[in-house]
Structure 1
């Protein structure tokens, strides 16, 4: 494979998307949708210019490592943009959406898939876990940028960001439950408690909090002493995320969760940044580090295996995707009456997309179980979500703006 061809095609796509970003948001064609379409166009399904096998790395391994890095960078950007005091002021939303919301979404998705998809229970359980976490990358168009600021209340944008950041890291616990039941059922309970929950999840939270605080203090000292030439978020964001990702994995923790916790602590300790600067930083990160993963996904989509599933599979997956979120927000409504209005709750109930995190967990689960069907079903669900949630961004945001204006007028 000619690396120059890949650079030209990938960078050219990102350049075009950058030049037309404002227009594309207005017509509800956000970057992830077009990047995915570009991958399909360039891949074997259409033009055959680039094949994912040409990269010289097994497809599963390439996608798992690429999504892992992409997820870490994206989560760091999400955590850093939350305002000072957010976690203290929004305890009700955080606890409700994570502790209860994830459980409800997991149960609803699993139940629908097991009842209607025609797969064994453990496969349905694994797929339900994969599609439970909402995605911080696909939600970018409604949490940053001019469209988001003009039409979506800040509390909704911040709550979507915090939820997607936390549940992406905690999704590891949900995915490892069926994986362990599949691979080592005799010891699954003990491994889930001692290895996954205590060491990997809690260890990640403690490690991330400690490193995030220490790096924040170092950042402040370097800034006060004039040791730094550039004290913006961007100078710290990428090495920060990759440091936590690598070190967290070396210590045997859930490194993705460690990155988010560290970035959340870091963002609360350093001085509050201007939202415009935060959006510029996240915009740069999204264009250059997050969109390429959707091009890769487009190259890897298994269209032949999808066709073998029949027409029912995409319908069932779509029902599971949409209902898992709607049912969860409906169930949580009594706890969130004072947090979000009815229009905001409806909007949050609709907008629960999956993307990079689901792809990461799908490739991880496939590697650990050897079940390729997980990848086939998960990529179909991801594609449906990216397209449907992507193209509904602008109309859903406008719907929320009108309802909020009518409610307060």
Structure 2
């Protein structure tokens, strides 16, 4: 019998994880602006490192293996735990991708996919094909896969660019000051569309391995190509595009109809994009089509006329959900990644794995974007071409295709006991180790590129200015940047020549011109072109919201 006077401690996994997650998000939130807008560090990199530090290889607060207790008969605990952890990671990645891609589709201007189909066609057609072949050749050379088809399967997993990590260069102060809006939209559209278009590249390799590989017992090239065209292209890709477009348009029209009749409150209106993502994700999963591509198409169709995008332009619910999902998924990745297998495995030694990661980041995308940039009007010069070519991150989408590959091997290339066919025994391990390692490389390299580049750019100037100050008796002139490891302050003066102690207005940092006068940074508010766009009047808000921007009063929620 338990002692009733004992302290009722309940150190369960749920309590530990919830407490840790809440504590980390709270602490991260206290310095989030400093880290993201001054240091230019991505929340993905920070969350991944925290996941490693507090996962099984660190403090062991996050214990993925403990969340998958298994009692299935005839299956070892290790095999059962691996299967359940794989299912959790796959579905978690699907959830994050689905929500992220609906939000990415909503970010794009009206009819963007139709108006910019030519540059997008180059990036999604030849661009993805070159990335696939280049990565596959590198994997074949460094990993020494028994067949080039195996390398094609690995290369297909990391061909799509990740929309979660791409947000580092299309959001925030760095993007506002350095990347034109047209180029930001192109990066968002490409990373959203090519996530779902990784299926044809992956299943081209998997079908050939099954029906043409050395261990194939039936079928042939004809059956492989028949499945590829009918199932992959027609059922998976084409159906998901049609389904996503239809659901997105219907959701938009139903929402507009409800808003006109004042049936919708503001909270439900804002959350409609998230609910759309969940609905498309679940229904596409039920019928086995491409839920990732369908989510992106649904999001873009949902705001095809720009109505929903403009109405939610200044609301923070979508970025908040976006941040929570990003932090949580990369915390999980940091705890789940098979770190020990990078050094101890039978498919590729670490001294080849590291050069492979470097080569993939340099060759996978950069040469092809640079070669095609003359035909992409959003990329206006060599510097932008090199920038866009380098920032093609590998992240959540690669993990998604990794588990799709493992699932295909288990279902269609293994016997009833789960033993893989003789020619694909090492394929699962190769895909798992190489893809996870490339994800880590991409998160670290792309997450540190901007802050390190900023330091490298400012360091020579800072040293020169410090030397100049010393040679002038230590005098510091207005407008001189004083660099520290944490942030770059500016000694500025206003238009009348008076020093300004705290050059910030409403959270927007005021920058200085070359002559030292103040130049406000671009405010994060409604763009001027959208300033006069009528907004919905919500019945539960103050009467002042019934006044239009031009001073006239609204008599109807919609213009």
TM-score, with length taken from structure 1: 0.92
Task: Find the structure with the greater CA-based Rg.
Answer: 2
Distance 1:345 1:101, change over 3 A: same
**SS at the partner of 1:268?**
coil
For 1:29, what is the secondary structure of its paired residue? coil
Question: Is the Cα–Cα contact under 8 Å of residues 223 and 231 in structure 1 kept in the other structure?
Answer: no
Other structure's SS at 2:57 match: coil
Offset from partner CA, 1:202-238 (integer Å, 9 cap, x none): 0000111111111111111111111111178641122
- Out of 106, 122, 129, the residue aligned to residue 132 of structure 2 is 106
CA distance in 2, matches of 1:197, 1:231: 38
Task: State the match for 2:18 in structure 1.
Answer: 7
Q: Is the 8 A contact 2:140 2:151 kept in 1?
A: yes
Worse-superposed segment, 135-144 or 13-22: 13-22
Cα 1:372/1:233, change in 2 over 3 Å: farther
1:314 is displaced (CA, Å) by 2.0
Shift of 1:90: 1.9
Secondary structure at 1:352 match in 2: coil
Tell me whether 1:316 sits opposite 2:356 in the alignment. Answer: yes
**1:237/1:207 CA distance change after superposition, 3 Å:** same
2:291 pairs, out of 231, 250, 255, with 255
Match of 1:127 in 2: 154
Whether contact under 8 Å (1:347, 1:396) holds in the other structure is no
DSSP 3-state at the match of 2:266? coil
Aligned residue pairs: how many?
402
Q: Is the 8 A contact 2:55 2:62 kept in 1?
A: yes
1:92 equivalent in alignment to 2:118:
yes
Contact kept? 2:13, 2:67, Cα under 8 Å? no
Shift of 1:279: 7.6
1:373–1:117: structure 2 CA closer, same or farther, 3 Å change rule?
A: closer
Q: Classify the secondary structure of the residue corresponding to 1:228.
A: coil
Matched, 1:349 2:389: yes
Distance change (3 Å), C-alpha of 1:339 and 1:52: same
Describe how 1:260-299 pairs up with structure 2 within 5 A. 260-271=296-307, 273-274=309-310, 277=313, 280-299=316-335
- Partners of 1:282 and 1:331 lie apart in 2 by 36
Which residue of the partner structure matches residue 65 of structure 1?
A: 91
Mapped contact 1:18–1:287 kept (Cα < 8 A): no
Tell me the residue number matched to 1:55.
67
**CA shift for structure 1 position 147:** 2.9
Equivalent pair of 2:161/2:195 in contact (CA under 8 Å): yes
Find the partner of 1:332 among 355, 366, 372.
Answer: 372
Q: Distance in 1 between matches of 2:157 and 2:100?
A: 18
Q: Distance in 1 between matches of 2:438 and 2:343?
A: 14
Q: Retained in 2: the 8 A contact 1:64–1:363?
A: yes
Q: Counterpart in 2 of 1:171? A: 198
Contact 2:119 2:376 (8 Å CA) reproduced: yes
Return the match for 2:49 from 26, 37, 44: 37
In the TM superposition, what whole-angstrom CA distance separates every residue of 1:44-67 from its partner, at most 9, and x where no partner exists?
212222221112162211111110
For structure 2, the 5+ residue unaligned runs are 1-11, 69-80, 213-219, 411-427, 458-512, 514-559
Q: Which moved more, 1:269-278 or 1:123-132?
A: 269-278
Of 275-284 and 253-262, more deviation after overlay is shown by: 275-284
Give 3-state SS (helix, strand or coil) of 1:46's partner.
coil
Contact persistence 1:133–1:358 (CA under 8 A): yes
Q: Structure 1 residues 173 and 41 mapped into 2: Cα distance closer, same or farther (>3 Å)?
A: same
My pick for the range that moved more, 60-69 or 280-289, is 280-289
Counterpart position of 1:144:
171
Q: Is the 8 A contact 2:119 2:377 kept in 1?
A: no
In structure 2, what is the Cα distance between the partners aligned to 1:338 and 1:163?
12
In 2, the alpha carbon distance for the partners of 1:264 and 1:320 equals 31
Call closer, same or farther: CA 1:74–1:200 in 2, change over 3 Å.
same
Matches within 5 A, 1:143-292: 143-185=170-212, 186=220, 187-230=223-266, 234-271=270-307, 273-274=309-310, 277=313, 280-292=316-328
Residues 104 and 188 in structure 2, CA contact (< 8 A), matched pair in contact too: yes
Q: 1:6 to 1:318 in 2, by over 3 A?
A: same
Whether the aligned pair in 2 keeps the contact of 1:108 and 1:324 (CA below 8 Å) is: yes
Can you give the 5+ residue segments of structure 1 that lack an aligned partner in the other structure? none
More helix by share: 1
Q: Deviations along 1:100-136, whole A, 9 cap, x unmatched?
A: 1111111111112112322232221111101110000
| CA displacement at 1:14 relative to structure 2 | 2.2
CA–CA separation in structure 1 for the residues paired with 2:311 and 2:155: 35
**Which of 48-57 and 229-238 deviates more?**
229-238
Alpha-carbon distance between aligned partners in 2 of 1:341 and 1:275, rounded to the nearest angstrom: 34
Q: Assess, with a 3 A threshold, how the Cα gap between structure 1 residues 196 and 338 changes in structure 2: closer, same or farther.
A: closer
Structure 1 pair 169–153 and aligned structure 2 pair: CA distance change class (3 A):
same
Provide the C-alpha distance between the structure 2 equivalents of 1:237 and 1:55, rounded to a whole number of angstroms.
31
Distance 2:160 2:326 in 1: 17
Aligned mates of 1:278, 1:301 — CA distance in 2: 37
Compared with structure 1, are the counterparts of its residues 343 and 377 closer, same or farther at alpha carbon in structure 2 (3 Å cutoff)? same
TM-score, normalization by structure 2 = 0.68
